Chains A and B, each alone.
Chain A
Amino acid sequence: MLKESGFENITIGPAVDTFGGAIGEQSARAFDVFAYAFLATKPT
């Protein structure tokens, strides 16, 4: 979707277990939910 929206140089960082140890951990595990850092640029 980032590429379709006109961004380039898209990179995605490693998965972060943001719900680990939280109440929502079980739901997150059920759908393999992790957080990621995204980086992209608008073309010049």
Chain B
Amino acid sequence: MTENLSVDPEALRADVRDKYRDVATNPHGTFHFHTGRTLTALLGYDPVVIEAFPDRAVESFAGVGNPFSSRDLQSGEHVVDIGSGAGFDSFVAATAVGDSGRVVGIDMTPEMLAKSRASALAMEMSNVEFRDGLAEAVPVDDGWADVVISNGVINLCADKRAVFAEIHRVLRPGGTLQFADIANGRPVPPEALRDIDLWTG
């Protein structure tokens, strides 16, 4: 399926990497969105779960919603987190699925991957791993996932049909997609859609 894209996907990825590199390495900087523990409280994450996480696992969280609000993960489930960032949602998922479950986080920003892997080690979470990859080319076998989660990432992808096709591929039949993302209630002018800076704020 070929989509008429309004922006160059690679140029958009470069801009997104720049933005989220900053969120990873300077989490208490100034951003156009909320971050960290303030954001987890705003979005209704379970405080009992979050309080057990060290700051490094929460401070670079920059999601837009709560992908766990629509359905609780079950023990033993295999979960893929598309655009896992510094790992926060993957850690929430890993806590929910337990030792018999498995979580694979996918991200394209090296600094986010490094931070998420270091946090997993620090928390001794052995049921979660982080892989370098794109939402449009997820490095996970066909049908491996019981659940795919994502949080504020798909809106940053130029080719959303390609992303949903990949999610469909990695899910098993009967598997669940539960994600949070933004949507606008008023149309965005075509010239704004072509302005990459506006995509990332």
Residues of A near any B CB (own CB < 8 A): 1-2, 4-7, 11, 13, 16, 18-24, 27, 30-44
Contact = CB atoms under 8 A, between A and B. Distances in A.
A23 to B, nearest CB: 5
Interface stretch (B77-85, B127-135, B163-171): B163-171
Contact of A7 (B164, B188, B201): B164
B64 A35 contact: yes
A24 B184 CA distance: 14
B32 A23 contact: yes
B22 interface: no
A17 B27 CA distance: 21
A37 B67 contact: yes
A40 B172 CA distance: 13
Nearest to B164: A5
A34 B42 CA distance: 13
A4 B161 contact: yes
A21 B43 CA distance: 13
Contact of B185 (A19, A31, A38): A31
Given A6-B168, A35-B65, A35-B181, A11 B173 contact: no
A43 B173 contact: yes
A22 to B, nearest CB: 5
A2 to B, nearest CB: 7
A4 B183 CA distance: 18
Contacts of B71: 39
A36 B173 CA distance: 24
Contacts of A33: 182-185
Interface string B175-195: 111111111111010000000
A34 B184 CA distance: 7
B65 A18 contact: yes
6 contacts: A5-B167, A22-B31, A23-B33, A35-B152, A42-B168, A43-B174
